[in-house]
Amino acid sequence: MPFNILMPALSPTMEKGNLARWLKKEGDKVKPGDVLAEIETDKATMEVEAIDEGVLAKIVVPEGTADVPVNNVIGLIAGEGEDAKPVAIKTVLAREKTPDVPTATLAAAPALNGDISPRTFASPLARRIAKESGFDLASITGSGPHGRIVERDVRAVLAHLPAAAPAQDTKTPSVLLPAPPNELIRKNFAPGSFEEIPHDSMRKTIARRLVEASRTIPHFYLTTDCNLDALMSLREAINAAAPVDKDATPAYRISVNDFIVKALALALIRVPDANVTWTETTMLKHKHADVGVAVAIPGGLITPIVRAAETKSLSLISNEMRDFAARARARKLRPEEYEGGSSTVSNLGMFGTKSFSAIINPPQATVLAVGAAKHRIIVKEGSPAVATMMSVTLSCDHRAVDGVLGANLLAAFKDLIEKPAGMLV
C-alpha cells in the first residue's frame, strides 16, 4: 500500500517550511536513506530522506512551494506495481479543503487563560493563538493529522466569534499601539522612491521573536569596561605557537571572540545562579554553560551554540565556531546546533561599534553585547596610561537574574577577561 511523505517538523517550534526542491522525480526508485527533497526553514536547509523502499509515485507539493504546514503530505511512495493514483487524488483534495466553518462550538464557559487539558493535541501556534484569544482548545475538533488542532481550526472559530469590545482603562493608557497598515506607511513616501522587498521566512521569524522578547521579558542592562592588554599579549603568544601543516597553515588561530565565549562560559559556572532559564513554574539551573554566538548571514542572523563551552579549549572553540559560521551561511546547521543555550555573545566590535544593548534570545536569561577593543586613556596607579579597552553590556531577564546576580556574573566575566591565563588551566 502506498504511504505518505510528510512535511517534517525540523524543530519543536516549526509550523511551516518551504519545499525548496525535489531531488527525485516521479517514477524514480528510492531506498531507505535516499535524499528525496530539500526543506527550507527560517534558519536552515534540511534534507528529507526515504524511510522505505519503493517508487516515488506522486509529488503532491511541487518544488518552490512556500509555507507548507508541518505534517502535510508532500509526496507518495508506492511499492513496485502499486497504483498510487487514487490515494494521491484523495490526498490532494484533503490538502486543498480548508474548513470555512468552526469545526466545533466553543464551550459555554471558555478558559480565561487558554490552558488546555493534557489530552488535547495541538500545534504550538494553535496553542499560542488560543491563549492570546482566551478560549479553551479542548472544545475544538482538530482537522490535522490524527485529530491534531492546527492554526486553521483556531482561525475558523475566531472568524465566527463576535468581536470583543476592548477593555477601557482610564487610569493607565495603553503603550502598545497597533502597527499602521501597509498602505498608510507607503503614503509617507513618494511613489517610485522605494523598492518593495517581500519578507522571507527568516526575517518574519526574527521580527516575531524579537517583538515577543522585548514585550514579555523584563530587560535590564549592566555595562563595564574590560582591559584587554594581557589578553592581547596572550593571544599573540598562543597563535605564534600554533603548529602548522605542510602548507604552513596553522592548526588554529584564536580570536578575541573565542576568549569572550570561554570567559562567559566560565563566568556562568562561577556564578551558577545566573546560569538559568525561566519557565512559568520552575527555574532551570544548567549544569553546563552552552554559549550561543550570533553569526550574521544573508537576510538575518543565527546563533549556533558551543555546548559545554567551559570544558573546551580555546583552539577547539575557535575551530568549532569557524565550522559553525561556514555552515550557518550555507544554511546547513541542524536545529540542535542553534536551539536552547544558557546565554549568547553578540559581538559588533569588528564593525567599530563602541557599545550597544542586545535583546535577549528566548529561552535564555542573559545576552552579552560586546563592543570594539580600542586604545583609550585610563588612570593607572594615579597616572594617565594607554590601554586596550572593550565595553560590554549584559542584558538580563529580571525574572531570572536580579541586579546583584547580574553584576556578579559581569564581574566574573571581567576578571576572567583581564586575567586570561586563568582560562588555560
Inform me whether the pLDDT recorded for 147 exceeds 80: no
Question: Rounded to 5 degrees, what are φ and ψ at 230?
Answer: -65, -40
Identify whether 286 is a catalytic site residue: no
Which residue, chain included where needed, has cell 486553521?
Answer: 152
From 235, 264, 263, select the one nearest 250 (Cα to Cα).
235
CATH number reported for the structural domain that contains residue 297 in this entry: 3.30.559.10
**Phi, psi for 418 (deg, rounded to 5):** -85, -15
Enter the C-alpha cell of residue 276: 538559568
pLDDT digit string, tens, across residues 378-414: 998 899 999 999 999 999 999 999 999 999 999 999 9
Task: Exactly one of 146, 199, 375, 398 is catalytic; name it.
Answer: 398
Q: What is the DSSP letter of 243?
A: -
Q: Which of 96, 114, 145 is the last residue of a domain?
A: 96
Its pTM surpasses 0.75: no
Give domain status of residue 365, yes or no.
yes
* Residue 195 belongs to a domain: no
Domain boundary (144, 161, 178) is at: 161
Please indicate, yes or no, if residue 129 is contained in any of the structural domains: yes
Cell numbers describing residue 345: 555573545
Rounded to an integer, the average pLDDT of 300-319 is 95
| C-alpha cell belonging to residue 77 | 511512495
Judgement on whether residues 148 and 30 belong to the same structural domain of the protein: no
Displacement of CA 243 from its chain's centroid (Å) = 36
**Look-up of cell digits 498510487:** 84
Based on the fold, state whether residues 10 and 75 are members of the same structural domain.
yes
**b/e map 110-119, b = 16+ CB within 10 Å:** bbeebebeee
272, 307: one domain: yes
Q: Are residues 71 and 123 in the same domain?
A: no
Question: For the segment 75-111, what is each residue's pLDDT rounded down to a tens digit?
Answer: 888 876 666 555 544 444 444 444 443 433 333 333 3
- Confidence band of 15 (pLDDT split at 50, 70, 90): confident
Residue 52 lies in a domain: yes
Instruction: List all residues 6 or more positions away from 74 whose beta carbon is below 8 Å from its beta carbon.
Output: 5, 6, 7, 19, 37, 48, 59, 60, 61, 68
The residue range of the domain holding 231 is 218-424
